[in-house]
Amino acid sequence: MTVTEQGLLERDKDTMTLNMGPQHPSTHGVFRVVLEMDGEVVLSAVPEIGYLHTGIEKSSENKRYVHVIPMTDRLDYLNPPGNNLAFCLTTEKLLQVEIPGRAQYIRVIMCELTRIASHLLWLGTHALDIGAMTVFLYAWREREMILDLNEMISGVRMMTSFIRIGGVAKDATPEWIQGTRKFIDYFPEKIDEYESLLTKNPIWMDRTQEVGVFSKEQALDWSFSGPCLRASGVDFDFRKKRPYSGYENFRFEVPVGKNGDIYDRYRCRIQEMRESREIIKQALDALPDDGYKIPDNKISLPPRNTLKTSMEALIHHFKLVSEGIKVPAGETYVPTEGPRGEVGFYIVSDGSNVPYRVKLRAPSFMASPGMCHMMTGHFIADVVGIIGSVDIVMGEVDR
């Protein structure tokens, strides 16, 4: 219940306008919100975005499809493989190609690892916002391992750009598979450790329960997606409802909350980390062996060693590198489930080697007005809690 609803506060006309951000320790990047305050209570909150405008959508119109992939990494910088995947899936749908199982599974493993990493970052910063400092560093410790795994497979820790049109950039090495196995065996007890610091902690419960409540209807009205939507009690997950990239092959639960408060969002995400671990485990166990990219050399580069012996391979290589992939004219959209919600690219192709228009459906952008609505009637201390619980990433809000 908000403070104004409880009738704890007598309203008077003297209010204070407080500018929070873009330089503020806990607005998660360069988010700015202008708060109308009555004492410590927020009367209205107006979001101001645009401080991290990169023009990625526009620059995509001048870049070949393959060249767009590294830019998608920088949109939601906590979910690079997820963005790569969303872009590649859409392009592949336009190209009407079928991706080999191994590539799909590697993609899933990378995306789920990144989901864990993203949730760990969320957990750490969210707990830090509420004042629990230690959880932050514990979460960082495990995130570091995921980044090491990323480096092992792609050579880059964060902006992997590993998922390519037609598959993935390289095959998964045995070392990486072994490292991932080691990580998922080690990880569950660490989740218990975070939970031991927070879940039953009276101060944590006090700070998060019945704060920032969004009902089922409100969450749908304000176009929430992902964990925020599920915490409000809507059982919706694209991995289940419209499976892509082989998600239909894995058994996992979709955690759903009840009250739609900060605490439920916290519980949902914690549970999601456990489920992601399950998915990775199953994917590693059932990793097929049918190639990490499609054999069609008009879309994916021919193997390096064939270049010196095969004329055709050389020509394909030259054409692909100099001209890029020609995508048939059309427009399409493939929704995927990112750590923050529905991520998808709407791509319009005019048949050339550069997209005519690329539009990102960014969950953080869609959630930010609802988030500010949520702040109304709460204390300023809850504002940072709400920002943290919705988990916005400015990179995809301003794009």
Partner 1 sequence: MIDTVTQFLSDNVGLIVGAVKAAVIAVALLSSVPILVWLERRLMGRFQVRLGPNRVGPFGLGQPFADAVKLLFKESIIQGSADKFLFFLAPAVVVFTAIVTFSAIPFGASFTLFGQEIGPHVANINVGLLFVFAISSMGIYGIVLAGLASNNKYSLMGGLRSSAQMISYELTLGLAALGVIIVSGSLNLVEIVEDQSVVPNIILQPLAFILFFTAGIAETNRAPFDLPEAEQELVAGFHTEYTGMKFAMFFMGEYVNMITMSAMVTVLFLGGWNAYIFEFMVPPVIGPIIVFASKVFILLCVFIWLRSTFPRIRYDRLMTFGWKVLLPLAVLNLMVSGFIKVVL
CB of 151 to partner 1, least distance (A): 21
Judged by CB under 8 A, does residue 132 bind partner 1?
A: yes
Task: Pick from 15, 44, 201, 209 the residue near partner 1 by CB under 8 A.
Answer: 201
| Contact assessment for residue 338 and residue 76, using Cβ atoms and an 8 Å cutoff | yes
Judged by CB under 8 A, does residue 76 bind partner 1?
A: no
- How many CB atoms sit inside 10 A of residue 329's CB? 12
CB of 200 to partner 1, least distance (A): 12
CB of 317 to partner 1, least distance (A): 47
Task: Pick from 1, 11, 40, 350 the residue near partner 1 by CB under 8 A.
Answer: 40
Contact region with partner 1 (CB under 8 A), list: 88-96, 128-136, 233-241, 279-287 = 128-136
Subset of 181-200 contacting partner 1 (CB under 8 A): 197-198
Judged by CB under 8 A, does residue 3 bind partner 1?
A: yes
Contact region with partner 1 (CB under 8 A), list: 49-57, 131-139, 220-228, 360-368 = 131-139
CB of 369 to partner 1, least distance (A): 22
Judged by CB under 8 A, does residue 383 bind partner 1?
A: yes
Contact region with partner 1 (CB under 8 A), list: 65-73, 233-241, 312-320, 378-386 = 378-386
Q: Residue 359 and residue 7: Cα distance in Å, rounded? A: 44
Pull the structure tokens for residue 324.
């890029």
Site string for partner 1, 247-286 (x = CB under 8 A): ----------------------------------------
Q: Residue 232 and residue 171: Cα distance in Å, rounded? A: 39
Site string for partner 1, 7-26 (x = CB under 8 A): -x-------x-x-----xxx
Q: What are phi and psi of 269, to 5 degrees?
A: -70, -40
Nearer to partner 1, 174 or 202 (CB): 202
CA-to-CA dists, residue 64 to 71, 103, 216, 328, 359, angstroms = 11, 22, 41, 13, 15
Task: Pick from 206, 210, 290, 296 the residue near partner 1 by CB under 8 A.
Answer: 206
CB of 91 to partner 1, least distance (A): 40
CB of 113 to partner 1, least distance (A): 21
Quickly tell me which residue has 């192709």 as its tokens.
349
Pull the structure tokens for residue 384.
């940072």
Task: Pick from 375, 384, 392, 394 the residue near partner 1 by CB under 8 A.
Answer: 384
Q: Would you tell me which residues interact with partner 1 (CB under 8 A)?
A: 3, 8, 16, 18, 24-26, 40, 127-134, 136-138, 141, 197-198, 201, 203-204, 206-207, 379-384
